[in-house]
């Protein structure tokens, strides 16, 4: 059962020596406060009698007001507590006095800032962009969680398509982040469940084709004659290395150091997820990695010399900038290679990841093992590759219809 009491908040004294009088609700050892709206100097409060002293010029009127509010609050707390014993003190307060509209942008800014603090620069930049677009749409107006209704989302989607020319999947990614903010606010007891607009608004997405290389295409890239020691050769080798070495992302390949290689395995902390991976390298990857091994290897030197040697790896912003710059350079050279070989696919480094996944499944490695090697958080992320392989097998069986 919840209890209600009148409290003079000495911990809230202001510069004038005044403090507020609050009503305190305690339930299950949890405390919540409701303001009476009254501020008085400490010498005017009678702590023993829990009331304003007679020397205050408005003591009689204020004490009457406090007493009436206290009685009203006790009755309301008793009523709500009796109906739903599971209500928290905060929920009791909100049921009685109403929940204030919560500023969406304030909450969003705090959430985005945490990505920056955790060194997730790419995620920080992406979500900053999402919130910036929404701010521009509001044109300086305040936006509360309660303002974001299904109707609001429908109008905003139209704006994103017409003003920013966003695709269905770009809108989906924007709304996915906004939905996460609503879910976080609900889990923190900041908003009620019925405020979440995504309970009624259906988010839309379109299936995308994942490009990958066939065995013949990968072999052509491996065997392409390139001038030794050039950047284009380095970028080709990094791509092929990844296609055999578990489909490592470019950010992880770029940061590989000799201390991460024990002669047979590479031991990686995945930049995107923070997860740990130990991958036994097949012969092709070993062959590539040994091309770059000096007579006396510096354990702290990068295996693939692309990032600046002086880069400060503890500086998340600097690392993100250099990786973005290197990735653009690598992808440019991969497109040149694809053009030379007449491979009509939009090749980027990430295709090495898709290529590894589809090849691994074709070669009979179980989907759960492929998922672990790829560092996927959930098996459903890997299942899309299984569907690709299954589709290939269906097409292969069509030969019997010819």
Residue scoring higher pLDDT (162 or 97): 162
Task: Determine the pLDDT at residue 100.
Answer: 59
* C-alpha–C-alpha distance, residues 232 and 221, integer Å: 12
**393 has pLDDT over 60:** no
Task: Determine the pLDDT at residue 73.
Answer: 82
**8 has pLDDT over 90:** yes
Task: Determine the pLDDT at residue 332.
Answer: 97
Burial of 382 per CB tally in 10 Å (0-12, 13-18, 19+): buried
Over residues 64-81, the mean pLDDT reads 82
Question: Same CATH fold, 215-399 and 104-199?
Answer: no
In 164-300, which ranges are continuous DSSP H helix? Answer: 168-187, 215-223, 231-244, 250-254, 283-291
Over residues 132-155, the mean pLDDT reads 93
Task: Determine the pLDDT at residue 295.
Answer: 82
Residue 227, C-beta contacts closer than 8 angstroms, at least 6 positions apart: 233
Contact 88, 29 (CB under 8 A): no
Q: Report the CATH fold assignment for 104-199.
A: DNA polymerase; domain 1 (1.10.150)
Please give the DSSP secondary-structure letter assigned to residue 401.
Answer: G
Where along the chain do its domains lie? Answer: 3-97, 104-199, 215-399
**83 has pLDDT over 70:** no
Task: Determine the pLDDT at residue 276.
Answer: 84
Q: Return the closest-CA partner of residue 303 out of 350, 270, 331, 268.
A: 268
- Listed range (176-190, 263-277, 378-392) with the worst mean pLDDT: 378-392
pLDDT level of residue 269 (50, 70, 90 thresholds): confident
Share of the chain above pLDDT 70, in %: 88
- Both ends of the chain: CA-CA distance in Å? 78
Sign of CA dihedral 34, 38, 41, 46: negative
- Listed range (82-96, 97-111, 132-146, 287-301) with the worst mean pLDDT: 82-96
Its CATH architecture, for the domain 215-399, is Orthogonal Bundle (1.10)
The whole-model pTM stands at 0.63
* C-alpha–C-alpha distance, residues 64 and 71, integer Å: 11
CA atoms in the 13 A half-sphere facing the CB of 311: 21
φ, ψ of residue 61 to 5 degrees: the values are -65, -45
CA atoms in the 13 A half-sphere facing the CB of 283: 0
Distant-in-sequence contacts of 96-102, Cβ < 8 A, 24+ apart = 96/34, 97/34, 99/191, 99/192, 101/144, 101/145, 101/146, 101/147, 102/144, 102/145, 102/146, 102/185, 102/190, 102/191
């Amino acid at each position: 059962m919840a209890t209600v009491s009148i409290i003079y908040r000495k911990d809230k004294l202001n510069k004038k020596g005044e403090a507020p009088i609050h009503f305190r609700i305690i339930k299950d050892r949890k405390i919540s406060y409701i303001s009476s709206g009254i501020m008085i100097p400490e010498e005017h409060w009678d702590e023993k009698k829990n009331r304003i002293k007679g020397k205050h010029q408005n003591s009689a009127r204020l004490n009457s007001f406090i007493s009436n509010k206290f009685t009203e609050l006790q009755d309301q707390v008793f009523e709500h507590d009796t109906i739903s014993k599971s209500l928290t003190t905060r929920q009791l307060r909100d049921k009685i006095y109403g929940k204030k509209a919560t500023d969406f942008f304030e909450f969003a800014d705090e959430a985005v800032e945490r990505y920056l603090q955790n060194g997730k620069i790419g995620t920080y930049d992406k979500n900053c962009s999402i919130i910036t677009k929404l701010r521009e749409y509001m044109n300086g107006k305040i936006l509360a969680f309660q303002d974001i209704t299904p109707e609001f989302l429908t109008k905003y989607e139209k704006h994103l398509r017409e003003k920013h020319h966003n695709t269905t999947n770009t809108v989906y990614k924007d709304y996915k982040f906004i939905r996460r903010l609503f879910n976080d606010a609900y889990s923190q007891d900041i908003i009620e469940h019925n405020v979440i607009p995504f309970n009624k608004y259906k988010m839309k997405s379109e299936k995308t084709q994942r490009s990958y290389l066939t065995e013949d295409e990968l072999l052509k890239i491996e065997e392409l004659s390139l001038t030794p020691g050039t950047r284009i050769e380095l970028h080709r080798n990094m791509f092929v290395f990844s296609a055999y070495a578990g489909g490592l992302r470019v950010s992880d390949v770029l940061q590989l150091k000799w201390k991460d290689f024990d002669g047979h395995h590479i031991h990686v902390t995945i930049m995107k997820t923070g997860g740990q991976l130990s991958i036994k390298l097949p012969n092709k990857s070993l062959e590539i990695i040994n091309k770059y091994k000096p007579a006396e290897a510096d354990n702290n030197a990068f295996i693939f010399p692309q990032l600046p040697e002086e880069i400060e790896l503890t500086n998340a912003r600097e690392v993100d900038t250099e990786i973005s710059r290197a990735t653009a350079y690598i992808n440019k050279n991969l497109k040149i290679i694809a053009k030379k070989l007449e491979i009509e696919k939009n090749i980027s480094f990430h295709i090495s990841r898709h290529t590894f996944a589809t090849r691994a499944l074709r070669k009979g490695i179980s989907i759960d093992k492929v998922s672990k090697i790829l560092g996927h958080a959930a098996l459903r992320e890997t299942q899309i590759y299984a569907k690709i392989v299954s589709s290939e097998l269906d097409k292969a069986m069509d030969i019997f219809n010819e």
